[in-house]
Chains A and B, each alone.
Chain A
Amino acid sequence: MNIAVCIKQVPNTEAQVILNDGILAFSDPKKIINPYDEFAIEAALRAKEQAFPDASVTAITLGPESATEALRTALAMGCDQAIHITHEPHPGWLAPLTVGQAIGAALRQVDLVFCGRQGIDHDDFTVPYVIANAHQMSCINVVKEITYKPEEKKLWVVRESDGGQKEYFECPMPAVLGISIGLNKPRYPSLPGIMKAKKKAIESLNLTDLVSDSNCTWIQPSTYELPKAKEACKMIKGDIAEQASELARILKEDLHIV
């Protein structure tokens, strides 16, 4: 029994987007695990603990060297092994179709795959479906609740749509599940877990060995434009009469509205 959890390293949610000579950058170099993926890791670990005690949980990511930090966190939380799909540096990013194909190819034998419902960087909602397609598995995204039926190799899954209505599915395994926030509470890794994770080997695979060059699609916008900074409010000082006359003057002279 093999469980996989797909994770992605994304920019810090608080980091500001900046443009450096036309190249997109972030004010804070610290990166984090895609927040939805933390819930996916927890879901994968609980699947093992609650229903499939013999399973092995593999965390997998595609990304630059720094993405191993995300894998170390997943290992510290309790994943059994980790796979890092590496690629040559590129100013753009990989199309979700390519990412899904690469992960699909890297996961040879797998019964359950957990993903975050979307990456918060590009919001594509795509990778779970591509992985499912690669392995001919069932796929449900935006999952809110899961009940396992290991004997029947089935799952009961509740999916919540945007409007809030719930949809109930009986889902055969193998399956890919896209996890939403609120499904669980991601655990806090213990220190011995962190220490052990530091020493664990991470399997490294090359993108070019998984997806042929002709199928590798990179996305790169021609130019970027950042949203205009909101103009600060102007406070008019003085007593009521002064404020009123100053307001009238601004409307008339500065803004030419009246």
Chain B
Amino acid sequence: MAHLLTESWINEFFFIAVVLSASSFFGFTIASRIKSILPGPQDNRFDQPFKRIKNIFKHVFAQSKMWRRPSIGLAHFLIFWGFCMVSLGTIAFLLEGLRFHVGWAQNFIFLGIQDFFTVLVIAAVLFAFFRRLVLKPNHVRLSGDALFILGMILCLMVTDLCIDGASATLKGELKSQAWASFSLAHFLGFPNWSPSVLAGFHLVNWWIHLITVFLFLCYLPFSKHFHVITAAPNIFFGTLIPWGRMKTLDLENSEHFGVDRLDQLSWKQKLDTLACTECGRCSDACPATTMGKKLDPANIIINLRHHLEHKDVNTSLHGQTISEEELWACTTCAACMHACPLTIEHIPAITDMRRHLVLMEGKMPEEAMLALRNLEQKGNPWGISEQERESWLDTQGITPLNEGDSVDLLFWIGCAGSFDDRSKKIVLAMIKILNHAKISFGVIGKHESCTGDPARRIGNEYLFQMLVQGNVEALNKFNYKKLLTICPHCMNSLKHEYQEFGLYNSKILHHSVFIKELMDKGLIRLKEAQASQTVTLHDSCYLTRYNDIVDAPREALKSVPGTQLIEMKRHGKSNFCCGAGGGRMWMEEDKSARVNVQRAEEAVQTGAQTLITECPFCMTMMRDGTRAMSEKERADPMVVKDIAEWVSEHLA
């Protein structure tokens, strides 16, 4: 941006005064923000710097998550890069104001590129205005804040062009390379203006631009556009730990467990609240919000920020800021975290607050309490005698291993597989596949207990650790190389959470992946296709978003001759939860708006004949969902089958 400072010392004095006071104000605000987020438990986010830098390239420079909606992705991409280019111009503008000579800023190539971005930003801002004021999509919250910020950006861009056009005209250097300011100057007829009027015009624009720059800077920390500053650090410090591994609490040496007050959230969890742009992507993806429940992940983050900004650090977050109803509605499906372009971590915040309710106050929905009591007393959430784990295997002629036995593949049957009649059929189907492929395996019967996944996600870390210790002790009595399970929740816990408690190192496999492996090795022979059969696949959140398992089940299904997979609109990593995760399986749900019914509708809409699941809990939820739908529509419910059942039915 070319600069033409008048000789007046008053001008210079005010310039310096504005720069100094605005910078100190901005510096002070930032320092106080940093101070406000610092107190809290340790949270080391400085490890693996290269991975973190890679994330900056991915999520900041390439804006990878924004492209999921291409038109918005493009607009934001242009605004982002335009903003960076224009900021270079602003830096030059300020340096020149301080009487430094900035050669590159006069370079016509730079001016040309900068003009290009300035115009792009103007176009993007106008589109953003149009979207907010005319199109009004659901997830975008119309706020004065957003309009004010957009207005300021527009003002900066327009004044920028005016300054450049006027200054070049006055210097007699109006060149077509700076095409936008050149065109504007000709459009407004600058060459015909008297020099004094043009100089006045320049001065006014110059001051408006300067004041807007600093107004923007000083206003930022108070607005959701603070993300302009916080986004990059938030992404840099984003978690590198698998989402499926919840933070372990030190039960022996702590006095408080979970989060009641802000100073019990780590600095990064508080930085998250300052980074949120209120874009609503997380809410859009959230099954609870979609079904009209009180939980809205964006609100959780925004309300924490309001608490941080306006309330005493000693006031409890529970009650006014975050209600119990919101916390208990979460299925920990991670759709929010997957959707958030700023890699904000909603689930740890939610489960940390649940931990406070359960561990410190003994508060939770009654049904959740019953599930925890069953886990404590019986070792499984169903509350059925542990004896059943062995007695039903016995009816199938399967004898558990003896302590010390060695086996290549250990089949972890899990609670659903042991106590739920429908899930037992999945186990049998998997055994049929193993026998077909001549894979020997062992089970450990009554040595199994619940992995503790529901206890941990409901918030009872104490019970979780007790169950883990029991299971690790039990598992370590056997020698095995691979651990197979039909339950994504068991798999997730065993894979990500058990090593820390001393589980013998082995490969932990979900059955869909193992089936695919067996197919690849040519160990599975399938029947010739009789007729084409259409299926749709309901992904498990704990497979896709937590463990990156998207393709294996699809490829396995497609390998079955005659099977035609029709995808639901939301599938793979963008799948919609069944409603059972995070311990929700064990809690009542308002019958009027149930997550599983919504998902069942999506499955039915594909027109596929069969709905395939890959998790015993999804199976229960989808069966209930399809039945509820069929009652409404008086039709036969859609058939729901586990992927193991589908493959086993097609064995040659």
Chain A residues close to B by CB (< 8 Å): 12, 14-16, 27-28, 30, 32, 185, 187-195
Cα-based distance from A191 to B358 in the complex (angstroms)? 8
| Chain B min CB distance to A16 (Å) | 6
Interface residues in B358-373 (C-beta closer than 8 Å to A): 358-364, 366, 369, 372
Cα-based distance from A30 to B364 in the complex (angstroms)? 25
A-B contact pairs, 6 of them (CB 8 A): A12-B378, A15-B387, A30-B379, A32-B377, A185-B366, A191-B360
**What residues on A are CB-neighbors of B251 within 8 Å?**
191, 195
B462 touches A194 (CB 8 A): yes
A28 touches B387 (CB 8 A): yes
**What residues on A are CB-neighbors of B364 within 8 Å?**
188
A188-B369, A189-B362 given; A27·B385 CB < 8 A: yes
B257 touches A191 (CB 8 A): yes
Selected from A15, A192, A193, A194, the residue in CB contact (under 8 A) with B385 is A15
| Chain A min CB distance to B647 (Å) | 26
Whether, in the assembled complex, B263 has its beta carbon less than 8 Å from a beta carbon of chain A, the answer is: no
**What residues on A are CB-neighbors of B384 within 8 Å?**
14
Cα-based distance from A185 to B369 in the complex (angstroms)? 11
Knowing that A14-B378, A16-B387 touch, tell me 12 more A-B residue pairs with CB under 8 angstroms. Answer: A12-B377, A14-B385, A30-B386, A32-B377, A185-B366, A188-B364, A190-B360, A191-B257, A191-B461, A192-B255, A194-B462, A195-B251
B361 touches A190 (CB 8 A): yes
A12-B377, A32-B377 given; A191·B383 CB < 8 A: no
A30-B377, A32-B377, A190-B359 given; A14·B383 CB < 8 A: yes
Instruction: Look across to chain A and name the residue whose beta carbon is closest to the beta carbon of B252.
Output: A195
Chain B residues close to A by CB (< 8 Å): 251, 255, 257, 358-364, 366, 369, 372, 377-379, 383-387, 461-462
Cα-based distance from A56 to B598 in the complex (angstroms)? 53
B362 touches A30 (CB 8 A): no
A27 touches B359 (CB 8 A): no
A191 touches B372 (CB 8 A): no
Work out how many contacts link A and B, with CB atoms closer than 8 A: 49
B378 touches A30 (CB 8 A): yes
Cα-based distance from A192 to B356 in the complex (angstroms)? 11
**What residues on B are CB-neighbors of A15 within 8 Å?**
385, 387
| Chain A min CB distance to B576 (Å) | 32
Cα-based distance from A219 to B133 in the complex (angstroms)? 83
Cα-based distance from A36 to B251 in the complex (angstroms)? 30
| Chain A min CB distance to B473 (Å) | 15
| Chain A min CB distance to B458 (Å) | 11
**What residues on B are CB-neighbors of A27 within 8 Å?**
385-387
A28 touches B385 (CB 8 A): yes
* In the A-B complex, the 8 residue pairs with the closest CB atoms: A188-B362, A14-B385, A191-B359, A27-B387, A32-B377, A190-B362, A191-B462, A187-B362
| Chain A min CB distance to B432 (Å) | 20
Cα-based distance from A12 to B209 in the complex (angstroms)? 76
| Chain A min CB distance to B182 (Å) | 71
Instruction: Look across to chain A and name the residue whose beta carbon is closest to the beta carbon of B368.
Output: A188
B385 touches A12 (CB 8 A): yes
Instruction: Look across to chain B and name the residue whose beta carbon is closest to the beta carbon of A27.
Output: B387
**What residues on A are CB-neighbors of B385 within 8 Å?**
12, 14-16, 27-28
| Chain A min CB distance to B396 (Å) | 15
**What residues on A are CB-neighbors of B379 within 8 Å?**
30
**What residues on A are CB-neighbors of B366 within 8 Å?**
185
**What residues on B are CB-neighbors of A191 within 8 Å?**
251, 257, 359-360, 461-462
Cα-based distance from A194 to B359 in the complex (angstroms)? 10
Instruction: Look across to chain B and name the residue whose beta carbon is closest to the beta carbon of A33.
Output: B377
**What residues on B are CB-neighbors of A194 within 8 Å?**
462
A188 touches B358 (CB 8 A): yes
**What residues on A are CB-neighbors of B377 within 8 Å?**
12, 30, 32
**What residues on B are CB-neighbors of A189 within 8 Å?**
362
Cα-based distance from A192 to B462 in the complex (angstroms)? 11
**What residues on B are CB-neighbors of A187 within 8 Å?**
362
Query: Which of A27, A191, A193 has the largest number of chain B CB atoms within 10 A?
Result: A191
**What residues on A are CB-neighbors of B378 within 8 Å?**
12, 14, 28, 30
**What residues on A are CB-neighbors of B372 within 8 Å?**
188
Cα-based distance from A187 to B385 in the complex (angstroms)? 24
**What residues on B are CB-neighbors of A190 within 8 Å?**
359-362
Instruction: Look across to chain A and name the residue whose beta carbon is closest to the beta carbon of B377.
Output: A32
**What residues on B are CB-neighbors of A30 within 8 Å?**
377-379, 386
Instruction: Look across to chain A and name the residue whose beta carbon is closest to the beta carbon of B355.
Output: A191
**What residues on B are CB-neighbors of A28 within 8 Å?**
378, 385-387
**What residues on A are CB-neighbors of B383 within 8 Å?**
14
| Chain B min CB distance to A17 (Å) | 11
Cα-based distance from A15 to B377 in the complex (angstroms)? 11
Cα-based distance from A193 to B359 in the complex (angstroms)? 9
Cα-based distance from A191 to B377 in the complex (angstroms)? 17
Cα-based distance from A194 to B363 in the complex (angstroms)? 15
Cα-based distance from A14 to B359 in the complex (angstroms)? 26
Instruction: Look across to chain A and name the residue whose beta carbon is closest to the beta carbon of B364.
Output: A188
**What residues on B are CB-neighbors of A32 within 8 Å?**
377
| Chain A min CB distance to B378 (Å) | 6
| Chain B min CB distance to A69 (Å) | 11
Cα-based distance from A195 to B251 in the complex (angstroms)? 9
Cα-based distance from A193 to B384 in the complex (angstroms)? 28
Cα-based distance from A19 to B421 in the complex (angstroms)? 28
Query: Which of A14, A27, A192 has the largest number of chain B CB atoms within 10 A?
Result: A14
**What residues on A are CB-neighbors of B363 within 8 Å?**
188
| Chain B min CB distance to A135 (Å) | 33
Cα-based distance from A185 to B384 in the complex (angstroms)? 22
| Chain A min CB distance to B361 (Å) | 6
Instruction: Look across to chain A and name the residue whose beta carbon is closest to the beta carbon of B386.
Output: A28
Cα-based distance from A90 to B126 in the complex (angstroms)? 87
**What residues on B are CB-neighbors of A195 within 8 Å?**
251
Cα-based distance from A187 to B462 in the complex (angstroms)? 17
**What residues on B are CB-neighbors of A16 within 8 Å?**
385, 387
Cα-based distance from A12 to B387 in the complex (angstroms)? 12
Instruction: Look across to chain B and name the residue whose beta carbon is closest to the beta carbon of A14.
Output: B385
| Chain B min CB distance to A185 (Å) | 7
Cα-based distance from A190 to B379 in the complex (angstroms)? 20
